């Protein structure tokens, strides 16, 4: 860990103050300045406003300080500025990406036919998955989606993707960009732990199929708000029977399928048609770094666009540029490879496991508390709760959570987050850093309770 426990996590400065500090940096002038001056400007004006993800008081988001060997790999990738589009660009980078994707498929227990492509971030991985799902569905309808687009469907207004109401908003982005609009996302109810409620799911799906053309079912393995893992195995079976593409958004959660104690939550995931994973969330690789896995390698080529001078159909060598849209692609595989090789899987699994234990311990500590209302039993490393001081008016509890959260931002001592669950405003702790103990989390909750008593 860098830095002392007692320094603020961030300046807590207002947008006006941050603006006035940074204006000099973007004052683009005729003459340049030395690197020494630049460094000084950055140290004095920019760094104080950075968030220090490596401190134990940072318990709010998926951001993580880079792991040292990941940094090592990232620096080499940047120093050589290697692209990975195709063989012509860099044989070494291309083959490393290809081999890394295959190794990751094996690591996550996917079949020999599976493959993966590096993406910029989870949002784009989900978007590509929905595209592949539409493309595959069009094929079942007897036309090429790449050529005809949504007009190829008899009635495009009937197309929908279904998911839980706790799914990430990137699915809405994807549907907007694909020209289907948010109205084509149907959301299902959840159980008391915010997982898709599979009670009567077959009947619900049948009813939906009477009204709509369901082209994709998205389960989330680790929801953003509460880290809940949807029941994958029953859903994958239903999707197979119904002939629907099944995508798992494991942007946050997939990594925890490597932890033996959590493996059961991911049962059936190897049968999913596609899976999103963000190594930048808890693998300590520099942002951005994401992957899209597919069960059948050939499905990735649904995205392929061939060129005359670039990404040619007849090129014999491997070509990551055909597997997903970006044409200029960074060597995202290298930091992941160096980090995994440096740490080894045993250490990686320990690093993933520790925050899960810490969160579970805190959950159990507060199970019978009157001062904290727990919102769910955590599946992974996220805990949502409300502070409920004795005698505080119930109707004002939403406002109280908001005020506590606002105060933490200004004080900059501890970083927590805020979300909405069941239409209630709740506080949220996300633990990614393996050095954060249950005591560190308890300290945060004590701090939050002290703040709540001020209102």
Query: Which residues contact ligand PLP by CB under 6 A?
Result: 62, 121-123, 126, 168, 170, 220, 222, 224, 249, 251-252, 278, 290
Which are the contacts of 344, defined by CB distance < 8 A and separation ≥ 6? Answer: none
Q: Collapse the DSSP code of 206 into the 3-class scheme (helix H, G, I; strand E, B; otherwise coil) and give the result.
A: helix
| Shortest CB 427 distance to ligand PLP, Å | 17
Q: How many CA atoms lie within 13 A of 73 on its CB side?
A: 26
Token pair belonging to 65: 């300080």
State the residue number with the nearest CB to ligand PLP: 122
CA triple 317-322-326, angle to 5 deg: 125
> Residue 62 corresponds to which tokens in the numbers above?
């998926």
Nearer CB in complex with ligand PLP: 238/251:
251
Contact between residue 193 and residue 377 where contact means Cβ atoms under 8 Å apart: yes
Give 124 or 447: the residue with its C-beta nearer to ligand PLP: 124
289 vs 303 by CB, closer to ligand PLP: 289
Q: Is 52 or 123 the residue whose CB approaches ligand PLP more closely?
A: 123
Q: How far is the CB of 90 from ligand PLP (least distance, A)?
A: 25
Residue that is written with structure tokens 């190829």 in the block: 152
**Minimum gap (Å) between residue 223 Cβ and ligand PLP:** 6
Measured distance CA(376)–CA(228) in Å, rounded = 9
Q: Which is nearer to ligand PLP, 18 or 121 (CB)?
A: 121
Beta carbon nearer to ligand PLP, 122 or 378:
122
Dmax (CA) for the chain in angstroms is: 73
CA dist 180 and 312 (Å) reads: 31
HSE of 338 in the Cβ direction (CA atoms, 13 Å)? 19
Which distant-in-sequence residues (6+ apart) come within 8 Å of 106 by Cβ?
Answer: none
What is the helix (H) or strand (E) element at residue 248, kind and residue range? strand 245-249
| Minimum distance from residue 417 beta carbon to ligand PLP (Å) | 11
Q: Please, are residues 99 and 115 in contact by the beta-carbon 8 Å criterion?
A: no
Q: How far is the CB of 443 from ligand PLP (least distance, A)?
A: 25
Q: Name the residue nearer to ligand PLP (CB basis): 90 or 303.
A: 303
Q: Residue 144 CB, nearest distance to ligand PLP (Å)?
A: 29
Q: How far is the CB of 19 from ligand PLP (least distance, A)?
A: 25
Which residue number, 115 or 249, has a Cβ lying nearer to ligand PLP? 249
Distance CA 110, CA 115 (A): 9
Instruction: Give min distance, CB of 58 to ligand PLP, in A.
Output: 16
Which of 277, 361, 286 shows the shortest CA–CA distance to 331? Answer: 286
SS3 325: coil
Could you tell me if 163 and 220 are in contact, meaning their C-beta atoms sit under 8 angstroms apart?
yes
Phi, psi of 220 (to 5 degrees): -110, 125
For residue 294, the minimal CB distance to ligand PLP (Å) is 17
Helix/strand/coil for 240: helix
What is the closest distance, in whole angstroms, from the C-beta atom of residue 445 to ligand PLP in the complex?
23
DSSP E strands, 56-190: 115-119, 159-164, 185-188
Q: Which is nearer to ligand PLP, 145 or 245 (CB)?
A: 245
Q: Is the CB of 41 or the CB of 61 nearer to ligand PLP?
A: 61
Which residues have a Cβ under 8 Å from the Cβ of 20 and sit 6 or more positions away? none
């Amino acid at each position: 860990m860098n830095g002392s426990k007692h320094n603020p996590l961030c300046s807590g400065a207002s947008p006006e103050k941050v603006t006035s500090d940074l204006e000099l940096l973007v004052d683009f002038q005729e003459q340049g300045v030395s690197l020494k001056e630049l460094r000084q400007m950055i140290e004095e004006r920019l760094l104080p406003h950075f968030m220090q993800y490596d401190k134990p008081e940072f318990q709010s988001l998926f951001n993580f300080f880079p792991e040292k060997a990941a940094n090592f790999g990232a620096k080499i990738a940047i120093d050589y500025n290697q692209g990975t589009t195709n063989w012509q660009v860099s044989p070494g980078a291309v083959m490393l990406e290809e081999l890394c994707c295959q190794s990751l498929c094996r690591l996550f227990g996917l079949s020999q036919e599976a493959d993966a492509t590096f993406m910029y971030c989870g949002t784009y991985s989900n978007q590509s998955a929905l595209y592949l799902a539409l493309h595959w569905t069009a094929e079942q309808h007897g036309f090429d989606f790449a050529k005809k687009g949504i007009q190829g469907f008899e009635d495009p207004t009937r197309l929908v993707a279904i998911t839980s109401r706790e799914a990430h908003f990137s699915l809405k982005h994807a549907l907007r960009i694909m020209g289907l609009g948010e109205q084509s996302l149907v959301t299902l109810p959840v159980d008391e732990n915010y997982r898709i409620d599979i009670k009567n799911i077959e009947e619900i799906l049948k009813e939906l199929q009477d009204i709509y053309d369901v082209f994709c079912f998205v389960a989330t393995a680790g929801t953003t708000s509460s880290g809940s893992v949807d029941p994958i195995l029953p859903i994958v079976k239903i999707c197979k029977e119904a002939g629907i593409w099944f995508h798992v958004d494991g942007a946050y959660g997939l990594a925890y399928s490597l932890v033996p104690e959590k493996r059961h939550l991911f049962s059936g995931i190897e049968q999913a048609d596609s899976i999103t994973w963000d190594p930048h969330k808890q693998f300590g690789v520099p942002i951005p770094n994401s992957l899209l896995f597919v069960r059948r390698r050939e499905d990735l080529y649904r995205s392929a666009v061939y060129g005359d001078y670039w990404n040619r159909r007849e090129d014999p060598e491997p070509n990551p540029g055909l597997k997903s849209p970006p044409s200029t692609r960074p060597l995202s595989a290298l930091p992941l490879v160096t980090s995994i090789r440096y740490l080894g899987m045993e250490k990686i699994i320990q690093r993933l496991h520790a925050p899960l234990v810490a969160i579970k311990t805190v959950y159990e500590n507060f199970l019978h508390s009157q001062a904290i209302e727990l919102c769910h039993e955590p599946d992974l490393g996220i805990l949502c709760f409300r502070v409920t001081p004795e005698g505080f008016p119930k109707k004002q509890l939403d406002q109280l959570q908001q005020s506590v959260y606002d105060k933490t931002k200004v004080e900059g001592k501890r970083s927590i987050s805020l979300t909405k669950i069941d239409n209630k405003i709740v506080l949220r702790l996300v633990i990614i850093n393996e050095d954060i103990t249950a005591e560190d989390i308890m300290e945060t909750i004590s701090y939050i309770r002290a703040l709540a008593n001020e209102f």
